[in-house]
Structure 1
Amino acid sequence: MSKPRKQIHLAAHFPGVNNTTVWSDPRSGSHIEFGSFVRLAQTAERAKFDFFFLAEGLRLREQAGRIYDLDVVGRPDTFTVLAALAAVTDRLGLAGTINSTFNEPYEVARQFASLDHLSGGRAAWNVVTSWDAFTGENFRRGGFLAEQDRYSRATQFLQAATELFDSWPESRIPADPDRGLFVEDPRIGSFSHRDAHFDIAGRFTVPRGPQGRPVILQAGDSDGGREFAARTADAIFSRHGTLEAGQAFYSDVKRRLPAYGRTPEQLLVLPAATFALGDTDADAQEKAAVIRRQQISGQTALRLLEQLWNRDLSGYDPDGPLPEVDPDLGDAHIARGRASVRMHRDPLATAREWRERATAGNLSIRDLIIEVSGRQTFIGTAATVADRIDDLVQRDAADGFILVPHVTPDGLDEFADTVVPLLQERGVFRTEYTGETLREHLGLSVPAVSGAAR
């Protein structure tokens, strides 16, 4: 018997400040006005996407002491935006990035539980950590945590939040339903959680939501991040969009699940993906090349190179060769609020590789940065892109994709109008929503009440 074809999951990413958006494009709108959020979310819902995904940052990034070029508009509060979107959408899931390093479990659990009720069961939480003291300066508890401590805190943060979500068991016993009277279990809302990071006890104010708990997303790629996702997440947001890298990541995170009593179906792998569509594959390739040069201006190329070199390179010509001087291996002081410098485990080796690549291809600084800083994941006609997405999902390189348009808020329209119908014709993507909640969209069951909350 042939293996049944997997259903593809799709989400729409509202990136906010980033180096993906082509700000020079006339279609590029505000990233803070509510109308932009509404436009992208309603397009995603029209195309029957699983959810809308909102990124968040807790501080504007800086480079060489100045606000980074692409951070000029900032980011509004996640919960405010998602709660407002709940009123102008009906079925679309609403996912937000909320930090576990500089927030508190009670407050975050109360906000997500409220959002889940207000949206009719469509809330999702992308649990992230922060590594830098720069972001911590915005909070009373400044400083930063080492990687193992960040994930330890995140694990306990999520455990505490889970106990809060589950602190309202199904224990309202009707005494006289006609008069609206109930016998209340005195345990309702009661919680007590103590560990190395938190010492909290009291009574939670929000009943268990339609989904039991919000869907949990996680975006870490380190070993600690993958283990955290295997233990706690419903979906993991990855950066591996090619077949080989995607299959390796997919296999790695799925193999970790049995250690936590979980099955492969309980964790979805959803890489981020960009796209460039054209009337022909050649046309799409040309469009993709134009988009990349729009995304990486000469000044942006220098800023991105500085994040590896950890030096002020403003005096260099972006259309000239790479610096002969080696990267500064001292503390990161050029880019603040970005993890890019620390993602290069061996800056000297990376610089050597980039020099060899630039020499072989006769590449300028800008040309090299365009080549190494990523490309559109899917390039081609609508049919080519639909084929590629379906192939990657069916071959277990992903369970679906979180799409990041290069123009917001209208950049998803072409994909929704051309690629989605082809996936629907193949029978691998829904033509209508069949469930009410995000868990139903994703094929996830409502979790049982945790043992600690019983």
Structure 2
Amino acid sequence: MHLAAHFPGVNNTTVWTEGGPEALGNQIGFDSFVHLARTAERGLFDFFFLAEGLRLREHKGRIHDLDVVGRPEAITVLSALAAVTEKLGLAATVNATFNEPYELARRLAGENFRRGGFLDRADRYTRAAEFVAVARTLWDSWPEGERAPRPFAYRGEHFDVSGEFSLPRSPQGRPVVIQAGDSDEGREFAASAADIVFTRHGTLDAGRAFFADVKRRLGAYGREPDSLKIMPGVTFVLGDTAAEAQERAVEVRRQQITPQNALLALEQVWGVDLSSYDPDGPLPDIDPDPESRLTQGRVRHADPFALAERWRALSREKGLSIRETVIEATGRQSFIGTPEAVAAEMDAFVQEDAADGFILVPHLTPHGLDEFVARVVPLLQERGSFRTSYEGTTLRDHLGI
């Protein structure tokens, strides 16, 4: 089993109300990054993952203030964490649309964007595939053991670069590529270019279907099934008894989805100001605005009409208010129970080909991973499902690729 840690914050999964006023500073304070990364390394995790927003988030013309609106630049944070960890892999979002391969290849080997404007959705994976190909051309142009680079040249639809790469090959050859995206194009891109897929398929049946679909695509690219690790992002809530864990999980969800966050979630689907609605009342009977620019700095739902109808159906079926609907529809507590039960369920996912491992997203910053490492990791080790020591020094070693 492979385990990784995700630093929470740029979403509504963080519980803000625990820890008092100082808890707010924990969301971007460097000590928080250090604590979570060192906890993950103590738990022998493969890597620490940091998502990145490309701009400050805005809602209804104001800087968003219901969760983290931004954070320090990801590669800068990981560079600093490299100084305070030894073997833990370090991973971050890097946007292929707004970066250049040569610049990124240099940054990973050792106003933010040269080009402006967005790409059509259909073109993003085309550029991403070419982006990875160019970066790999650069990294591979200095063969292992040689004292100088070989000239490189690449000409394609999006990039035209040539020359010599000035940095020698790193100990793991190439950085590990992690892909997130569930469309058919995303799955095909993962099969062709990624080492890890970060997925949201959290149930056993959905996980097995996704696992089988992506793994079967690898043969077309001359790859073996184990060369791509499928790692869903998951949450967890532990308790000394099953009942205690369920009680804690309910409380966590209510803390995550406050009345204000419930209306925010609804506005991001409908694209209109819903501040006049009661969070404890029924869902709006108006249609979403597909052209809305109410929210900036985050991805808009691809089909707001379909999502709104699913939420309405859920509300009608169970008699739920706005807040209750959002809690039900967006719940992400993947593993809830005693440490023994959680270890067994996680193990089952891996043994039954629903995942190769998990990227854990704790709901507290920075101590949310502590209990898992102390209480669940030893049980996974007793089962023989998780390492008892690091056997290599690079992330590729940890992943076995």
TM-score computed with the length of structure 1 as normaliser: 0.85
Q: Distance in 2 between matches of 1:326 and 1:79?
A: 41
Match of 1:201 in 2: 162
Pair 1:88-2:56 in alignment: no
Pair 1:333-2:308 in alignment: no
How far apart are residue 70 of structure 1 and its match? Answer: 3.7
Match of 2:308 in 1: 351
8 Å CA contact retained: 1:61, 1:71: no
Match of 1:181 in 2: none
Secondary structure of 2:108's counterpart equals helix
8 Å CA contact retained: 1:226, 1:253: yes
How far apart are residue 162 of structure 1 and its match? Answer: 0.3
Aligned residues: 398
Secondary structure of 2:41's counterpart equals helix
How far apart are residue 189 of structure 1 and its match? Answer: 4.9
Partner amino acid, structure 1, of 2:273: D
Match of 1:229 in 2: 190
Which structure 1 segments of 5+ residues have no match?
1-7, 115-136, 173-183, 445-454
How far apart are residue 171 of structure 1 and its match? Answer: 5.4
8 Å CA contact retained: 2:4, 2:47: yes
Match of 1:32 in 2: 28
Query: In structure 2, do the counterparts of structure 1 residues 71 and 287 end up closer, same or farther at CA, with 3 Å as the change threshold?
Result: closer
How far apart are residue 140 of structure 1 and its match? Answer: 5.1
Output the aligned Cα RMSD: 1.6
The structure with more radius of gyration: 1
Out of 334, 344, 347, the position equivalent to 1:387 is 344
Out of 236, 253, 260, the position equivalent to 1:299 is 260
Pair 1:67-2:63 in alignment: yes
User: C-alpha deviations, 1:80-118, integer Å up to 9, x for none?
Assistant: 11111111111111111111110110111111111xxxx
Match of 2:214 in 1: 253
Match of 2:276 in 1: 315
Out of 72, 76, 79, the position equivalent to 2:72 is 76
The farther-off stretch of 267-276 and 313-322 is 313-322
Pair 1:378-2:335 in alignment: yes
Secondary structure of 2:247's counterpart equals helix
Match of 1:55 in 2: 51
Pair 1:192-2:192 in alignment: no
User: C-alpha deviations, 1:103-154, integer Å up to 9, x for none?
Assistant: 110111111111xxxxxxxxxxxxxxxxxxxxxx874532211122111111
8 Å CA contact retained: 2:9, 2:68: no
The farther-off stretch of 139-148 and 208-217 is 139-148
Q: Distance in 1 between matches of 2:19 and 2:32?
A: 14
Partner amino acid, structure 1, of 2:200: R
Match of 1:117 in 2: none
8 Å CA contact retained: 2:155, 2:161: yes
Q: Distance in 2 between matches of 1:408 and 1:78?
A: 17
How far apart are residue 349 of structure 1 and its match? Answer: 3.6
User: C-alpha deviations, 1:306-364, integer Å up to 9, x for none?
Assistant: 121121111111111111212223x132222222422xx3x334323322321232211
Q: Distance in 1 between matches of 2:145 and 2:68?
A: 50
Match of 1:426 in 2: 383
Query: In structure 2, do the counterparts of structure 1 residues 340 and 371 end up closer, same or farther at CA, with 3 Å as the change threshold?
Result: farther
8 Å CA contact retained: 1:17, 1:70: no
Which structure 2 segments of 5+ residues have no match?
none
